[in-house]
Structure 1
Amino acid sequence: MFIEQAYSKKFDIIKYLPIPIIFMLLMLLNYVAVVALNLDVDKLIQDEITRKGTNRVFFETMLPLAIFLIMLLVWVKFVNKQSIRSLTTAREKVDWKRIFFSFGLWSAVTILLTVVAYYAEPANYEINFKPVPFAILAAIAVVLVPMQTSFEEYLFRGYLMQGIGIATRSKLIPLITTSVMFGVMHIANPEIEKLGYILLLYYIGTGFFLGIMTLMDDGMELALGFHAANNLVTALLITSDWTALQTDSVLKDYSIPDAGFDILLPVFIVYPILLFIFSKKYKWSGWREKLTGKLILKDTNNETGYSHD
């Protein structure tokens, strides 16, 4: 049982607050600055790329989140006195096969959908491949993108899911809370400026997808693999002038984005199909219990119990 693992007699919700508060405040201040100063985020990114180059801007974007990952894991280990394994999974050890399966599955789907889109409307795309810049991008991305995505997963699907769950004795409350927070975290992205706040439904829907996957599988392995594949393959494969991460990727997309299609396809079609595949492969059962159950936490010997309505 994934959430309960963070509980002990010395559990203190106050210890959970500093890193999430600092991170969310930074995100909020970034958004307030964009709105209050009426900043053109697209232009700012393009100016930075002109001055520094695409790969340097990409590196500087990824690095702070990689540092946050290290800070979070150190905090969990030495302040909360919790093992990284118990933050990651309810299994006796981290299941790397699950991570690689999820990573491989979503990488294959992403590449397939991109190839189909390219051949369906080739006029919307340009071959952007340059060997040297791409090699530098690949070296940066392979190291920093999994750290960036792992930070987001450990923060939302691990740290906050467990902390909020224990504080509220619920699984549904942390699922809803972390999914909404995950969506709101992206509010300052240039994609939101381009497509409107309706795109937050995509990010929140993705948060629910990753949260459901974590609770049903009693671990973050599938979410870690999916998120890493989503950002890494996208960074290497395709870019555009209006996204948060602009890279020296293989393709450049000049198409006009469609918020309705971009939201409906993954959230209401692709994600349910993926959940079905994972549920069959890993024999998930007890959906109501695992997603809406209440926690009963015992105070002795770090034992935990579980019940549901």
Structure 2
Amino acid sequence: MYIEQAFKCLHDWWRYLAGFVIIIFASQIGTIPLITAVIFKELSSGAGVENLANLDQDTLLSILDSNLTLFLMLLSFAIGLLGIYFVVRFLHNQPFRELTTTRRKTDWGRIFFGFGLIAIVTTVLTVVDYYSNPEDYVVQFNLVPFIILAIIAIIMIPLQTSFEEYLFRGYLMQGIGVLAKNRWLPLILTSVVFGALHVANPEVDKLGPLVMVFYIGTGFFLGIMTLMDEGMELALGFHAGNNLIAALLVTADWTVFKTNSILKDVAEPSTGFDIVLPVLIIYPIFLLIMARRYKWTDWKGKLFGKVEEPLKDMDHIEIGENL
């Protein structure tokens, strides 16, 4: 069972607390290049450093070229991912594969399936919406900036999404699970915290607090996927596919990824049922597709059951002894 993997390693509560602090610290170190670049650009333009304190996040991120901004933003997640690897291997003495899956090796077929599922659906829906409502989009394709974007996105976005998956569906899911001795608490906590960390995204300012239903619902969706499949492969692929297609295909002035994508959405975003539509309809359909493909069973046990430490191997007993 996926959470029980943590019993094989050093799983004291203080290790998870210290590990979490180290991981967050590592990711914050990764923001230094972005901050430095912004300050340098402002100073070179003649502006004073004191002016930076009065700028909002969107303005700060618009100071640099969008491709450079994207790269530097994603760099912090890449360094955070290195922090997770360091903590898992050296603080917990856990093979990284056991944080990824219960299978003998990482199932790349599952990663590509999760990636392909969301990539195909998102692309099809976007194309249909583009032809149905062409006035809502502007084609902004520019070959050279797009190629640079594609290189950055293909390399860096999977690192960003992997950081989030390994932190929430991996490290914290296992850590909270072995400490709480159940599955429902880590599922709830990791999903809510995952969603809450998106509260600073510009989408929240634009769409209002209702969009948090989408972020928290996505956390539950990825958590259910991980627990039911006994591994993170589907979640890793799905999350990477979602963010990569979003960065390459469509951008908007009010999204966290302002990129040199093919299309720009200029429509006034909906703040109604469209926000919760994926959580209530699309995500359940995705789960049913995965359940059918991978033959998931025992939903109650895997999502709400107890987490028990496996019995340690008994010493070898000769056949016939004590008979």
Calculate the TM-score normalised by the size of structure 1: 0.89
Give the drift of 1:298: 4.0
Give the drift of 1:10: 3.7
Aligned letter for 1:13?
W
The reply to whether residue 235 of structure 1 matches residue 247 of structure 2 is yes
The reply to whether residue 207 of structure 1 matches residue 219 of structure 2 is yes
The reply to whether residue 20 of structure 1 matches residue 20 of structure 2 is yes
Q: Structure 2: how far apart are the matches of 1:18 and 1:264? A: 36
Q: What whole-Å deviation, never above 9, does each CA across 1:53-101 have from its counterpart, x for those lacking one?
A: 1101111111101110111112101111001110000111110000001
When residues 257 and 90 of structure 1 are mapped into structure 2, their CA distance, relative to the original with a 3 A threshold, is: same
Aligned letter for 2:195?
G
When residues 21 and 263 of structure 1 are mapped into structure 2, their CA distance, relative to the original with a 3 A threshold, is: farther
Tell me if the contact between 2:22 and 2:87 (Cα under 8 Å) persists in the aligned partners.
no
Tell me if the contact between 1:9 and 1:300 (Cα under 8 Å) persists in the aligned partners.
no
Structure 1 residue corresponding to 2:96, chosen from 77, 84, 100: 84
Identity %: 51
Structure 1 residue corresponding to 2:190, chosen from 141, 160, 178: 178
Aligned letter for 2:265?
D
Q: Structure 1: how far apart are the matches of 2:3 and 2:135? A: 48
Gaps of 5+ in 1: 31-37, 303-309
Q: Structure 2: how far apart are the matches of 1:259 and 1:21? A: 36
Q: What whole-Å deviation, never above 9, does each CA across 1:231-272 have from its counterpart, x for those lacking one?
A: 001100010000111100000001111132332210001000
Partner of 1:261: 273
Partner of 1:70: 82
- Structural mapping, 1:29-48, within 5 Å: 41=56, 44-48=57-61
Tell me if the contact between 2:22 and 2:83 (Cα under 8 Å) persists in the aligned partners.
no
Aligned letter for 1:148?
Q
When residues 197 and 255 of structure 1 are mapped into structure 2, their CA distance, relative to the original with a 3 A threshold, is: same
Aligned letter for 2:155?
V
Looking at CA atoms only, which structure, 1 or 2, has the larger radius of gyration? 2
Q: Structure 1: how far apart are the matches of 2:105 and 2:274? A: 36
Tell me if the contact between 2:247 and 2:261 (Cα under 8 Å) persists in the aligned partners.
yes
Give the drift of 1:21: 4.0
Tell me if the contact between 2:9 and 2:92 (Cα under 8 Å) persists in the aligned partners.
no
Q: Structure 2: how far apart are the matches of 1:258 and 1:119? A: 18
Q: Structure 2: how far apart are the matches of 1:156 and 1:289? A: 21
Could you say what the CA RMSD is over the residues aligned between the two structures, in angstroms? Answer: 2.2
Aligned letter for 1:17?
L
Partner of 1:220: 232
Partner of 1:34: none
Calculate the TM-score normalised by the size of structure 2: 0.85
Gaps of 5+ in 2: 32-52, 315-323
The reply to whether residue 11 of structure 1 matches residue 11 of structure 2 is yes
